[in-house]
């Protein structure tokens, strides 16, 4: 993790939430507190899940493409264990830090992909498109399992559905939601790009339960 920043303690309302925007080997994370009508950012950080000492740790399915199936399974299992270990350590530290200035987080949201899931490993490795999806899901699963180990309920929301779902649940127009999320990052400064905004919106959405 690098550069954790606490913006201000929770104002009022329920417990804080965590929103994760995953990538290959890492994820942006934003902790959101306050209330539905008055959210605030408690923390912005980055969770690392790729071990530089392990070949293919950033793109595990690309790494095993072309290997015999059993060898591919063995390597993927090793890389999954490593990603979960790194994620769990980071999330445990994040939760402990947030709990010092606010109540304990109980729920975490993970932005999900829209790619095909549930296909066999053999079918995945035979399709370059499915390999890309599987690489992303590899780290989403590491995050989800690590969050559960840290006592967090996990909610997964497809990224392309996030804004529409937030508009429905929060009962605010999309333009107002986007403006609020943009303003949430002003006190923090950079980085407050698409990943941090999406993670913050997901956390805000989860404040609604």
172 phi, psi to nearest 5 deg: -135, 150
Q: How far is CA 190 from the centre of its chain?
A: 19
pTM of the model: 0.89
CA 103-40-2 angle, 5° bins? 80
**CA 16 to CA 41: how far, in whole Å?**
9
Closest CA to 21 of 111, 88, 153, 84: 111
Rounded CA-CA distance 45/14 in Å is: 22
Topology, domain 17-207: Nucleotidyltransferase; domain 5 (3.30.420)
Q: Which of 92, 74, 208 is nearest to 148 (CA)?
A: 92
pLDDT tens, the chain, 209 aa long: 333 333 333 333 468 999 999 999 999 999 999 999 999 999 999 999 999 999 999 999 999 999 999 999 999 999 999 999 999 999 999 999 998 877 899 999 999 987 777 689 999 999 999 999 999 999 999 999 999 999 999 999 999 999 999 999 999 999 999 999 999 999 999 999 999 999 999 999 999 87
Query: In what helix (H) or strand (E) does residue 31 lie, and over which residues does it extend?
Result: strand 26-34
Tell me if 152 sits within 8 A of 95, measured CB to CB.
yes
CB atoms closer than 10 angstroms to residue 198: 22
């Amino acid at each position: 993790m690098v550069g954790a920043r606490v913006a201000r303690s929770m104002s009022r309302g329920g417990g804080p939430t965590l929103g994760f925007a995953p990538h290959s080997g890492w994820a942006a994370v934003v902790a959101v507190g306050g209330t539905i009508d008055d959210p605030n950012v408690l923390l912005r950080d980055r969770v690392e899940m790729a071990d530089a000492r392990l070949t293919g740790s950033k793109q595990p399915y690309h790494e095993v493409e072309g290997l015999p199936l059993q060898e591919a399974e063995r390597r993927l299992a090793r890389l999954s264990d490593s990603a979960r270990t790194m994620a769990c350590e980071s999330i445990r530290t994040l939760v402990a830090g947030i709990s010092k200035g606010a109540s304990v987080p109980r729920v975490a949201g993970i932005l999900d992909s829209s790619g095909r899931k549930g296909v066999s490993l053999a079918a995945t490795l035979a399709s370059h498109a499915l390999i890309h999806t599987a690489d992303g899901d590899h780290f989403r699963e590491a995050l989800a399992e690590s969050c559960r180990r840290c006592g967090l309920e996990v909610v997964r929301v497809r990224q392309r559905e996030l804004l529409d779902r937030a508009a429905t649940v929060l009962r605010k127009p999309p333009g107002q939601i986007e403006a609020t999320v943009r303003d949430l990052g002003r006190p923090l400064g950079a980085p407050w790009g698409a990943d941090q905004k999406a993670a913050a919106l997901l956390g805000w959405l989860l404040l609604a339960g």
